Amino acid sequence: MRTRPPEPSPSLPSTSPTAAFVAAWRGPLHILVDNAGVMAIPERRTAEGWEMQFATNHLGHFALTLGLHDALAVGSAPERHSRVVVVSSVGHVNGGIRWHDVNFEHDPYDAWQAYSQSKTANVLFAVEAARRWASDGIDVNALNPGRIWSTGLSRHMSDPPAAFGAASSDGVSEKDIPQGAATSVLLAASPLVEGVIGRYFEDAQEAGPHAEALRRGVADYARDPADAARLWELSQTLLDTAPLPRG
């Protein structure tokens, strides 16, 4: 029986949908897929003042997953761990965390820098959660689902294939929705990855280091354990000190 103290949850306004969902959850949880996302949107901010891509793609998942930690721990068993699957993107290779200005409060907003930062945050979150929760029987990993234009994620782009070099100029082809979901399903349900933690997958297999010649693999800065711990503390602080949204 695991005796680790409960994971402290971020302090969220009681009106937050995330807080309401966590408060309403009952019983064990076996699989959590953090898959909400926006991409390259015009500059927008949450009621708390956070840049919208960082807030949606990372902070929301961070708050939800921490809030459900105890349910995930209860849902784990020696023969089958609970799973947390964090959906990132190959876009993380375009840039790391902007530690000096994560919410673009000082620098001019750049939609792609903001997206890349949020996707790097996804991988770093998986790295640190995996480290913290390994003894709880919670397997946490991140993944790149691939290019899937049919989901609506690219609705803020005028010509998504052209923006990324069509289908194969950089060695990456478009996927349909089932193909794009395959790696998430592997990490959520397959016994082949039981006990595997803190890794980054693509094309239903663990990815290697990022190579500049192709948009594949995981960037070194996205798996840095010191940055993963630093992002965890920053995220906790942002959520704990968030002002109440004004009505």
User: What positions carry a catalytic annotation?
Assistant: 115
CB 116 within 8 A of CB 213: no
For the chain, percent helix, then strand, then coil, each to nearest 5? 45, 10, 45
Whole-number Å distance between alpha carbons of 26 and 228: 30
How many other CB atoms sit within 10 Å of the CB of residue 7?
A: 18
In the numeric block, the tokens 């103290």 are attached to: 5
**CA–CA distances in Å: residue 74 to residues 63, 79, 83, 140:** 18, 13, 12, 15
Residue 164 Cα to chain centre, angstroms: 22
Please give the single-letter amino acid code of residue 212: E
* Rounded distance between C-alpha atoms, residue 213 and residue 217, angstroms: 11
Write down the residue that tokens 């390994």 correspond to.
Answer: 134
Closest among 15, 199, 182, 43 to 122, alpha carbons compared: 199
Q: Nearest to residue 174, comparing CAs of 90, 237, 244?
A: 90
Longest dimension (CA), the chain: 54
- CA-to-CA separations, 21 to 75, 99, 133, 152, in angstroms, rounded: 18, 30, 22, 25
